Amino acid sequence: MSEYINFTNEERERARRTNLASFLISQGESVKKSGSEYEWLDGSQKVTIRGNLWYHQYEQKGGDAIDFVRRFYNKDYVGAVQLLLSQSGGNLIKSAPIERKQKQFKLPERNDRMSRVFSYLLLTRGVDKEVIYEFVRKKMIYESAKYHNAVFIGYDSDGNPCHAHLRGTVSSNAFKGNVSGSKLEYSFHWNGTSDRLFLFEAPIDMLSFISMHKYNWKCHTYVASCSVSDRVLFQCLKDNPSIKKVYLCFDNDEAGQTANKRIAEKLNKINIQNEILIPKRKDWNEDLTLLEKGKGDICQVL
């Protein structure tokens, strides 16, 4: 435990307002200028920086300079303020807040056919045909008219579409991203009636897992965060109070497993039973495709 230090209000403010690009350079880190902002990499994930504020594009979270040092330099509050003050040179660096105006959400125009999406999900990704048809029937998957992307729709509790995740259907195009204005708390998900919820990073991982565990699958709740955010999980727990156990099923990589552990800690604090399920390979779709080739086996959880 750190010793208590009675920082003055001016010291706290000076630490909070530290210019993060300058701080990172002083620590030997590399930053890249991008318009009026800077970019810094947390491993392979981009963090946007403007003045004393930061925003992690993958985790969908941010804060000020003190939050940054606590998060990325593993400091407590006292240690973070001390480190920032030691680098500030006694100057209060003023910086304007990052304005992030919420754009109006609008679904991409639908194509009159779904041949590319069906081909991509069935043949390239190996997703079960009956599973795909059920999500299409529920108007949760379609093909966009302009780029022929697969569109995975998330609905709010009133049945209104308010989130859409796009995935390129051409093997040479690895494009993926959320439609502007999407609400992360309502990303692609299936509401069941049982007390079990399964949380994934991406819609295709979610569909792949269901394809490997088809028996009675419609009874359970499945959620794709379309990131490593946990906002949709806690929204589903709020909307479905009958859920008693959560399975955390993020990718088998550093970012995914870090997110699994972070979310498990949050669930433990509110007494929600949880279990981490790790794909044998990089992700659940890779497990599925190798299983279909006779080179894998199924994770037994149901």
* 298 closest CA partner among 60, 221, 281: 281
CA 294 to chain centre: 31
Kindly state the greatest CA–CA separation across the chain. Answer: 66
The pLDDT score that the predictor gives to residue 95 is 41
- Rounded (5°) CA angle 12-9-69: 10
Q: 194 CB contacts (<8 Å, ≥6 apart)? A: 219, 220, 221, 242
Coil, strand or helix: which one is 163? Answer: strand
Instruction: Give the sheet arrangement for strand 189-190, strand by strand.
Output: 189-190, 221-224, 196-200, 245-248, 273-276
- In the chain, where the domains are located: 9-88, 115-292
Phi first, then psi: what are they for 290, rounded to 5°?
Answer: -70, -35
Give 47's strand partners: 40, 56
Give 178's strand partners: 165
DSSP class per residue in 258-275: HHHHHHHHHHHHTT-EEE
CA 40 to chain centre: 18
Q: 221 CB contacts (<8 Å, ≥6 apart)? A: 189, 190, 191, 192, 194, 196, 197, 198, 236, 240, 243
The pLDDT score that the predictor gives to residue 96 is 39
* Cα dihedral 129→136→163→231 (10° resolution): -50
Phi first, then psi: what are they for 2, rounded to 5°?
Answer: -75, 150
What's the pTM value of the predicted model, to 2 decimals?
Answer: 0.68
Coil, strand or helix: which one is 115? Answer: helix
Render pLDDT for 11-53 as a digit per residue (tens, 0 to 9).
999 999 999 998 888 776 778 888 888 998 876 578 899 999 9
Question: Architecture of 9-88 per CATH?
Answer: Alpha-Beta Complex (3.90)
CA atoms within 13 A on the CB side of 41: 4
Both tokens assigned to 151: 């569109």
Task: Please answer whether residues 164 and 149 qualify as being in contact, where contact means their C-beta atoms are separated by less than 8 angstroms.
Answer: no
Render pLDDT for 44-94 as a digit per residue (tens, 0 to 9).
578 899 999 999 887 778 899 999 988 877 678 888 888 898 865 434 344
Which residues, given as ranges, of the chain have pLDDT below 70? 1-4, 28, 43-44, 74, 87-103, 172-174, 228, 294-302
Phi first, then psi: what are they for 208, rounded to 5°?
Answer: -65, -45
CB atoms within 10 A of CB 21: 22
Q: Which DSSP letter does residue 282 get? A: S
The pLDDT score that the predictor gives to residue 139 is 97
The pLDDT score that the predictor gives to residue 297 is 59
* 110 closest CA partner among 67, 144, 85: 144
d(CA 273, CA 268): 7
* Cα dihedral 62→63→69→70 (10° resolution): -90
CATH 3.40.1360.10, applies to 115-292: yes
The pLDDT score that the predictor gives to residue 44 is 58
